[in-house]
Amino acid sequence: MRKIVSGLLAGAIVSSAAAVSAAPPAALVINGQKGKTEVSSQIIKGRAFVPVRELAEELGAVVKWDAAQQTVYVSTSKQNEGVSAEKSKKASSPEAMKLVINGQEVKSAVPPQIINGKAWVPVRDLAEGLGSGVQWNDSQKSVWITNKIVNPSAKDYKGQAMITFSYDDGLDTFYDFALPLHEKYGIPATDNVIAGKVKDGAQTMYLDADQMKDMYARGVEIGSHSYSHEEGLTNLSDEDLDFELRESKAVLEQIVPKVQTIGIPFSMYDERVKAAVKKYYQAARNFEHLQNDIPLADKLWLHTAIAVTNETTFDQIKQRIDEAVENKQWCIIMLHGIDPDNRDLYEIKPALLEKVLAYVASLGRDKILPVNTIDGVSLAVK
């Protein structure tokens, strides 16, 4: 599939122009957002080029220009390169210019160039070097660049802090507003879905099965948030308690392959609930305004450091993140709806989410490793 798409893209670019052309070859659609970006593009020797800083920053990366080395450094972490962020004012010989992405030099068929004081690089080299997917959309004659959520592996955990974005209730605003931002910054997420409320035809505020499948394919963990979410689990009979836990997992596992964690509704639990949860899930997230120590004292029972509502400020969230970084703890942030209209207490605007994700990305994965709930549990027991 990748090969066919690459061929289409290359074909589209080659057919547009041979040398430097004034007209852009195609619109760029970045993380599903059309027309929002100001990134310009042009064809150089048959390849689509973009100004490196414009596209890299749109993709959540940091750009540094080392004039002495004639090298553009692009990194997903601020700590990777210690060179000056200043752009060179003098023109350089295009042949000598190098592009280094996350410490790896990228060898381009057509090398990066400086045009009117800006460094331009091939769009495909830059986007793929940052782990983004590049696809040609033939019907819209546009290049789609999509960042991917990066779920860490065991080698990424070196004793640093961790952070999880845990969304409750399975609201469809996650799909429209949160997912593109998580992809932009490559940061994982867990969405705890109320299995009995998955959208099925009727217009509701919940996710449907296709959205959940797509989210899973794009790296989002689907967790359970009980079957009905009507009652605190502590108030249920043994039989109803078992049903809420068992049936929610069974229903959700008809949509995605694995549901291993749960967000406890209303954070209501006791020893009986804990024992019942343990039968079906590897971890449960509650809300107690606590950080999780690593290694976990109780891997089944996870705390939330902060529940974000429309009364929460960026500084309050930042304070919890900084505290986790300082103490090398696992900070779990609980969220609900993400909506520009911001209609109730549990909805926040995308701008606040983006500010938090950008802050986490700026700290770098060596300081705080973004994980979903199940990956966090497996890393935090070591």
Give dist(CA 302, CA 189) in Å, integer. Answer: 15
User: Residue 373 CB, nearest distance to Zn ion (Å)?
Assistant: 15
Residue 125 makes contact with Zn ion by CB under 5 A: no
Q: Which stretch binds Zn ion (CB under 5 A): 103-111, 162-170, 293-301, 326-334?
A: 162-170
Kindly tell me which of 168 and 375 has the beta carbon lying closer to Zn ion. Answer: 168
Q: Which two tokens stand for residue 99?
A: 């592009």
Number of other CB atoms surrounding residue 254 within 10 Å: 9
Kindly tell me which of 128 and 240 has the beta carbon lying closer to Zn ion. Answer: 240
Q: Which of 261, 270, 257 is nearest to 332 (CA)?
A: 261
Kindly tell me which of 60 and 170 has the beta carbon lying closer to Zn ion. Answer: 170
Q: Which stretch binds Zn ion (CB under 5 A): 99-107, 161-169, 304-312, 370-378?
A: 161-169
Amino acid in position 169: D
Kindly tell me which of 58 and 168 has the beta carbon lying closer to Zn ion. Answer: 168
- 8 Å CB contact between 99 and 108: yes
Give dist(CA 59, CA 203) in Å, integer. Answer: 33
Beta-bridge partner residues of 285: 263, 302
Number of residues that bind Zn ion (CB under 5 A): 2
Kindly tell me which of 233 and 255 has the beta carbon lying closer to Zn ion. Answer: 233
Residue 168 makes contact with Zn ion by CB under 5 A: yes
User: Residue 226 CB, nearest distance to Zn ion (Å)?
Assistant: 8
| Residue whose CB is nearest to Zn ion in the complex, by number | 168
User: Residue 336 CB, nearest distance to Zn ion (Å)?
Assistant: 7
Kindly tell me which of 307 and 371 has the beta carbon lying closer to Zn ion. Answer: 307
What Å distances lie between residue 296 and 44, 49, 221, 271, CA to CA?
53, 47, 20, 18
- 8 Å CB contact between 276 and 242: yes
Q: Find the farthest-apart pair of alpha carbons in the chain and give their distance in angstroms, rounded.
A: 76
Q: Which stretch binds Zn ion (CB under 5 A): 10-18, 109-117, 133-141, 168-176?
A: 168-176
Kindly tell me which of 13 and 283 has the beta carbon lying closer to Zn ion. Answer: 283
User: For residues 32-51, which are near Zn ion according to CB under 5 A?
Assistant: none
What Å distances lie between residue 275 and 65, 112, 195, 243, 272, CA to CA?
56, 60, 21, 14, 5
Give dist(CA 289, CA 304) in Å, integer. Answer: 5
Burial of 95 by CB count in 10 Å (0-12 exposed, 13-18 middle, 19+ buried)?
exposed
Burial of 117 by CB count in 10 Å (0-12 exposed, 13-18 middle, 19+ buried)?
exposed
Q: Which stretch binds Zn ion (CB under 5 A): 3-11, 27-35, 166-174, 204-212?
A: 166-174
Kindly tell me which of 58 and 169 has the beta carbon lying closer to Zn ion. Answer: 169
Give dist(CA 84, CA 350) in Å, integer. Answer: 32
Kindly tell me which of 169 and 191 has the beta carbon lying closer to Zn ion. Answer: 169
User: Residue 266 CB, nearest distance to Zn ion (Å)?
Assistant: 7
User: For residues 275-294, which are near Zn ion according to CB under 5 A?
Assistant: none
Q: Which stretch binds Zn ion (CB under 5 A): 164-172, 277-285, 303-311, 320-328?
A: 164-172
Burial of 274 by CB count in 10 Å (0-12 exposed, 13-18 middle, 19+ buried)?
middle
Residue 244 makes contact with Zn ion by CB under 5 A: no
Among 54, 169, 183, 354, binds Zn ion (CB under 5 A): 169
β-pair type (330-335, 306-307): parallel
Site for Zn ion, rule CB under 5 A: 168-169
